[in-house]
Amino acid sequence: MSLKYQIKETAPFVEFTALSIDNAGGNPFDIIITTEINLHTYCQAIIDKVFELKHSDLEAFIIYQISIAKHPEKWLNKFEKLITLNEHLFDNTRNKTKLIKLFAILELQRQKMQSSSVITTPKKPAKKHINAESEERYFSFYEVRKQIELFKDDKEKILFLTKEKFEFESANIDFINQHQPDFGLQCQKEIDHIYHLKKLSDELEKTNTSNNNKALPFSKLKINIQINQLVDIFYQFTREHFVDGKPIIDGNTNDIIAFIANSFVDKDGREISPQTIKTMLSPSKTEKRPKPHKRIDIEDML
């Protein structure tokens, strides 16, 4: 526990997102308490973490904490009260800038929560699309997938998926649909997939940067057909047309997703979502690809 940043007052947190040293999982944003976990040690540990982190990590820390909190808005309010009650700790110039940034992050996260609460009030889906139900709510990954497609930022998607997964794992489940996969596992797979695509995109960008002096100048190509028609061409090349028993284009699905997303924009010049491409390339999602009369048949071109 820090000796330099001793708190004078605690804030009345209704839940503790802290871990004991035995349960620590290695996440840099975990609040770890080596002694007894109580209100005072929890508040002190939060302050210690705030001063331990760099300015650039504060937003990620707060997003992570509200993603594991059962009541994120309440946690934000208590966190704001805690730093306000102990504002004297931020007296020097560098710490004052940290305090200003904390308040800005808190306000931004509140706005996002409020806008999200307006958006996420969907009509209850058909029973076949519900993975599980508790007394308070239902859990439908079918609905979750539709919701995350509305988010443009990967951080927002991961925050939403993490909150859904945590709520599912914390809920007292009354009904489980045996015909649907485990809801929490589906959320985690989607989180892993987003991380994988982000890592792949970063690696491709790094490669493009390092080869910049050798490579020809390149701008994304604009397509003047529907996105699903473009993606379907790649689907045909990889799954329907073969040469000597091998697909015409032979590659990892994630690489194909990244290639399309990194090479094309739609007819209005907008980026193409990797998640949209992934859905259209899935063999089971025939309804997402073009109807037969709108399909660009590549067989005549071969």
Q: pLDDT by residue (tens digit) across 82-96?
A: 999 999 888 887 788
Question: Do 261 and 181 reside in the same domain of the chain?
Answer: no
Question: Do 35 and 53 reside in the same domain of the chain?
Answer: yes
pLDDT tier, 251 (very low <50, low <70, confident <90, very high otherwise):
confident
Q: What are phi and psi of 178, to 5 degrees?
A: -70, -15
Question: Do 149 and 189 reside in the same domain of the chain?
Answer: yes
Domain assignment present for 2: no
Question: Do 206 and 269 reside in the same domain of the chain?
Answer: no
Q: What is the pLDDT of residue 243?
A: 84
Question: Do 97 and 184 reside in the same domain of the chain?
Answer: no
Q: What is the pLDDT of residue 120?
A: 46
Domain assignment present for 216: no
pLDDT tens string 44-102: 999 999 999 988 899 999 999 998 888 889 999 999 999 999 998 888 877 888 888 89
Q: Which helix (H) or strand (E) holds 58?
A: helix 58-68
CB neighbours of 279 closer than 8 A, spacing ≥ 6?
Answer: 285, 288
pLDDT tens string 253-290: 899 999 999 999 999 999 999 999 999 998 888 898 99
Question: Do 22 and 112 reside in the same domain of the chain?
Answer: yes
Structural domains in the chain (count):
3
- Per DSSP, which regions of the chain are E strands? 18-20, 31-33, 132-134, 138-139, 173-176, 221-222, 242-243, 246-247, 264-265
**% of the chain surpassing 90 pLDDT:** 44
CA-CA distance, 155 to 60, in Å (whole number)? 9
pLDDT tier, 28 (very low <50, low <70, confident <90, very high otherwise):
confident
Domain assignment present for 157: yes
Domain assignment present for 197: yes
Domain assignment present for 8: no
Domain of 50 in residue numbering reads as 18-119
Domain assignment present for 206: yes
Q: What is the pLDDT of residue 168?
A: 93
Question: Do 251 and 284 reside in the same domain of the chain?
Answer: yes
CA-CA distance, 78 to 86, in Å (whole number)? 12
Q: Compute the average pLDDT of residues 37-46.
A: 92
Among 148, 175, 210, give the residue marking a domain's end: 210
Whether the per-residue pLDDT at 29 is higher than 60: the answer is yes
Whether the per-residue pLDDT at 117 is higher than 80: the answer is no
CA-CA distance, 300 to 195, in Å (whole number)? 39
Domain assignment present for 69: yes
Among candidates 261, 242, 243, which has minimal Cα distance to 253?
A: 261
Question: Do 84 and 22 reside in the same domain of the chain?
Answer: yes
Residues in the chain: 302
Q: Compute the average pLDDT of residues 108-124.
A: 69
Question: Do 294 and 233 reside in the same domain of the chain?
Answer: yes
Question: Do 34 and 86 reside in the same domain of the chain?
Answer: yes
Domain assignment present for 86: yes
Q: What is the pLDDT of residue 210?
A: 65
Among 210, 242, 277, give the residue marking a domain's end: 210
Among 168, 183, 210, give the residue marking a domain's end: 210
pLDDT tens string 212-234: 555 567 789 999 999 999 999 99
Whether the per-residue pLDDT at 119 is higher than 50: the answer is no
Whether the per-residue pLDDT at 1 is higher than 80: the answer is no
Q: Give the C-alpha distances (Å, rounded to integers) separating 284 from 4, 73, 227, 235.
A: 58, 38, 18, 12
